[in-house]
């Protein structure tokens, strides 16, 4: 539910579609946040106690799992900023105030995100702690130095490292500004070939079905985030692009904006932002 809401919010940011906002996004958000507000009891501190719960499919016993807490902390402020959210403001602000903190631990001088406040009964291979990088973009390059430092430390210490099917490593690397790592993973996905298929852009079942959609879906998402990232009004250009790769691209950005850019020999030789009024919101990360 929270992941779908992120996609809805991103879609609205891009299109500014008021009918979609009022008829689809807000009614959906209303029900989802009500569920999270009412399903669990409050603890003695007045905070929502997500227990019993689990952290994705990996930790089957968890109290206050990070994906739910980070997801709500990411979507509620964005919902509150919507022009049509007036009647829901008080309830959503209370839910936000009642959330426990994002699970974090400091060991050996390194502060990292945790899958949950407490967790056990391991049964799969996701990295739930990195959901605060993607899909809930709280600890990323765009979030600022302190959050980025925690995000990078968490990524470096991740338990499961892979680059196939649904594994999100290249997307998370791009959002953390780790351009060389993201580029290596994207190139590896692009060059993978399944000889049993007639068409080159199809893959065998990584985890679920054939042809696998996740392999290329993650690759495309990572590639775009290497080129551009958006939070609020800021358009971060080339935040995780390798210095020795030439590129010519056109991408959509929030507020019905498009960005066209060409990088050649390490230098930007073309940059066009439409509408021109959004040019001042572009930040070039090189």
Q: Which H, E and C letters describe the chain, residue by residue?
A: CHHHHHHHHHHHHHHCCHHHHHHHHHHHHHHHHHHHHHHCCECCCCCECCCCEEECCCEEEEEEEHHHHHHHHHHHHHHHCCCCCHHHHHHHHHHHHHCCCCCEEEECCEEEECCEEEEEEECCCCCHHHHHCCCCCCCCHHHCHHHHHHHHHHHHCCCCCCCCCCCCHHHHHHHCCCHHHHHHHHHHHHHCCCCCCCCCCCCCCCCCCCCCCHHHHHHHHHHHHHHEEEECCEEEECCCCCCCCCEEEEEEECCCEEEEEEEECCEEEEEEEECHHHHHHEEECC
What integer pLDDT is reported at residue 23 of this predicted model?
Answer: 97
Is the pLDDT at 85 greater than 90? The verdict is no
Is the pLDDT at 126 greater than 80? The verdict is yes
What integer pLDDT is reported at residue 41 of this predicted model?
Answer: 96
Provide the pLDDT confidence category of residue 198 given band limits of 50, 70 and 90. Answer: confident
Q: Specify the pairing of strand 116-122 against strand 110-113.
A: unpaired
pLDDT tens digit sequence for 245-271: 999 999 999 999 999 999 999 999 999
**pTM (predicted TM-score):** 0.95
What integer pLDDT is reported at residue 114 of this predicted model?
Answer: 98
Percent of the chain with pLDDT over 90: 87
What integer pLDDT is reported at residue 156 of this predicted model?
Answer: 97
Mean per-residue pLDDT over the chain, rounded: 95
């Amino acid at each position: 539910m929270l992941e779908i809401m992120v996609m809805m919010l991103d879609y609205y940011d891009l299109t500014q579609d008021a009918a979609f906002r009022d008829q689809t996004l807000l009614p959906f958000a209303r029900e989802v946040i009500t569920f999270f507000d009412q399903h669990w009891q409050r603890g003695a501190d007045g905070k929502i106690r997500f227990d019993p719960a689990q952290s994705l499919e990996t930790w089957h016993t968890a109290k206050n799992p990070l994906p739910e807490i980070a997801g709500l902390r990411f979507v509620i402020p964005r919902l509150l900023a919507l022009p049509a959210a007036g009647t829901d403001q008080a309830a959503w602000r209370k839910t936000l105030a009642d959330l426990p903190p994002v699970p974090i631990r400091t060991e050996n001088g390194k502060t990292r995100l945790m899958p949950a406040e407490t967790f056990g009964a391991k049964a799969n291979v996701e990295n739930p702690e990195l959901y605060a990088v993607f899909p809930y973009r709280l600890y990323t390059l765009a979030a600022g130095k302190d959050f980025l430092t925690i995000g990078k430390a968490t990524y470096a210490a991740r338990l499961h490292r892979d680059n196939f099917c649904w594994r999100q490593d290249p997307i998370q690397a791009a959002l953390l500004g780790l351009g060389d790592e993201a580029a290596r993973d994207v190139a590896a996905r692009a060059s993978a070939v399944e000889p049993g298929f007639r068409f080159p852009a199809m893959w065998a079942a990584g985890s679920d079905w054939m042809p696998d959609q996740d392999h290329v879906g993650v690759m495309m998402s990572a590639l775009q985030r290497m080129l551009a990232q958006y939070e609020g009004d800021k358009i971060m250009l080339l935040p995780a692009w390798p210095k020795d790769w030439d590129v010519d691209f056109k991408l959509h950005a929030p507020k019905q904006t498009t960005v066209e850019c060409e990088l050649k020999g390490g230098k930007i030789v073309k940059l066009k932002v439409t509408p021109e009024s959004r040019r001042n919101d572009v930040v070039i990360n090189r």
